[in-house]
Chains A and B, each alone.
Chain A
Amino acid sequence: MKLKTLALELEVLQAGNDPPEYAPGWYVDPATGQPIFYDPNTRTFYTMAGGIYIPLGYMNTAPKQVTLGPGEKLKITISYKYSGPAVTGAVERFCVGVYGAFGFDEKLVGTNTKNLSQSTSPVSYSGEYTFTIPTSAGADWDDIYCKISGGSPSVPETLFGYENALIIAGLQPTISEFKILDYVKV
């Protein structure tokens, strides 16, 4: 079976009242190349959509698409930085599903628990989870997101996801570029 990977880079996690790492202003999202605005008051990046600033860190346009069929494996890797008190049992949550008007409908979920060390400066962490695509996978299971939350003391919940990151070749065929080439009497 093929193993295909998709990497996500999460935001910086900071616990407590540590000062923001970034100065306020515009930055370029290295994942998508889109301009993003950082607000130190909320310690959140924002992107503009339809004239409205919305928090970055949830669903974004996928930088690439991975095609998968039933039985194939998808490995999602994440990286993030953390500074703050030591945390035990923080949860890394990996999801594949359908993102729509009513939020994210989680179809496949995987979790890891992780202990984070005490640090006054951001320390890099990474995590990964491998899903096996089931035969029941729908063609619309094309979104993914990852979340870090929980633990003791609890880390600030951080989300990040990609829309249309996957192309699922399910049991129902997907057909495109249908054309009539010719027709003749026989």
Chain B
Amino acid sequence: MVLQIAFTPLELAPKQFTVGDTIRVTFTFKYAVGADTAITIQAVPYQYRLGILDRIGASAGHKEITLAKATEPVELQESIDFTLRDIAAGTYGLLVEVPGTTYGARADDVLIVTEAPSLWTGMFGMMMMLMMLGMVGMVVPALTGATTEEGEAEGGESLS
């Protein structure tokens, strides 16, 4: 018997994530096996490059699942976590598969990945704030001093 797994068209809505986010993907499949068997499932973002499905391996998540013996097909639902690492900003597909086989499911263009704020971006913001505080610190005493001197001068005059 030839076993063919047809990738099922999916209606998953695209969602936005940031580099460093951990994503939990939930999936389901039916299986039959003659004895208890452990298999590894992989969840991984992908992009097409020159028409070839290119998995972003650094962001892949793996999980070992034990399939209990079942001579009649049974349904199983599982989930895998994977973290977006070493991945550039962009739009990616999501692939869940049994590596080394044709078993799996995928959804194109559902992961919209944005870059996390960088260290420099944070430091620049902090430096800007410090500079603004410094300027305020310089300007406020000057203004306050001028007002006081003016007040004292006016007061002096009024007293006299």
Contact B8 A178 (CB under 8 A): yes
Interface members, chain B 81-96 (any A CB < 8 Å) = 81, 94, 96
Distance to closest chain B CB from A170 (angstroms): 5
Is A23's CB within 8 Å of the partner chain B? no
Which B residues are in CB contact (< 8 Å) with A179?
8, 10, 27-29, 105
CB interface residues, B 69-118, toward A, < 8 Å: 69-73, 75, 77, 81, 94, 96, 98, 101, 103-107, 110-111
Chain B residues whose C-beta falls within 8 Å of the C-beta of A67 in the assembled complex = 32, 71-72
Q: Which of A34-42, A43-51, A133-141 contacts the other chain?
A: A133-141
B34 at the A interface (CB under 8 A): yes
Q: Is B148 on the interface with A (CB-CB < 8 A)?
A: no
Segment of A8-16, A68-76, A88-96 in the binding face: A68-76
Min CB distance B107 to A, Å, is 6
Beyond A173-B39, A174-B3, A175-B103, is A181–B33 a contact (Cβ under 8 Å)?
A: no
Q: Which residue of A lies closest to B16 (CB)?
A: A185
Inside 8 A of B39's CB, which chain A residues have their CB?
173
Q: Which of B17, B29, B72 contacts A178 (CB 8 A)?
A: B29
**Alpha-carbon gap, A72 to B69, bound state (A):** 13
Instruction: Show the binding face of A for B, using Cβ within 8 Å.
Output: 67-72, 135, 137, 139-140, 142, 164, 166-186
Q: How far is the CA of A169 from the CA of B35 in the complex (A)?
A: 8
Q: How long is the Cα–Cα vector from A3 to B22 in the complex, in angstroms? A: 49
**Contacts of B25-72 to chain A: CB distance below 8 A:** 25-35, 37, 39, 67, 69-72
Q: Which residues of A contact B106 (CB under 8 A)?
A: 180
Bound CA–CA A139/B32 (angstroms) = 10
Report B39 CB to chain A, min CB distance, Å: 6
Chain A hits for B25, CB < 8 A: 180, 182-183
Since A164-B1, A185-B17 are in contact, a sample of 15 more A-B pairs with Cβ atoms closer than 8 Å, ordered by chain A residue number, is A67-B32, A135-B35, A139-B1, A168-B1, A174-B3, A175-B5, A175-B31, A176-B30, A177-B8, A177-B75, A178-B28, A179-B27, A179-B28, A182-B26, A183-B111
| Contact present for B24 and A186 (CB under 8 Å) | yes
The 5 closest A-B pairs by CB, nearest first: A69-B71, A173-B33, A69-B34, A142-B1, A178-B29
Docked-complex contact A183 and B35, CB < 8 angstroms = no
Q: Is the CB of A167 within 8 A of B1?
A: yes
**Chain A: which residue is nearest B37 at the CB level?**
A173
CB of B140 within 8 A of chain A? no
Task: List A contacts of B5 (CB < 8 A).
Answer: 175-176, 178
Is there an interface contact between B8 and A70, defined as CB atoms closer than 8 Å? no
Which residues of A sit under 8 angstroms from B29, Cβ to Cβ?
175-179
Q: How far is the CB of A127 from chain B (nearest CB, A)?
A: 26
- Give which listed residue, A135, A175, A183, A185, contacts B94 with CB less than 8 A: A183
Closest to B12 in A: A180
B21 within 8 A of A: yes
Contact A137 B34 (CB under 8 A): yes
A178 near B1 with CB under 8 A, answer: no
8 pairs across A/B with beta carbons < 8 Å?
A67-B32, A167-B1, A170-B33, A171-B34, A175-B29, A177-B8, A180-B106, A182-B25
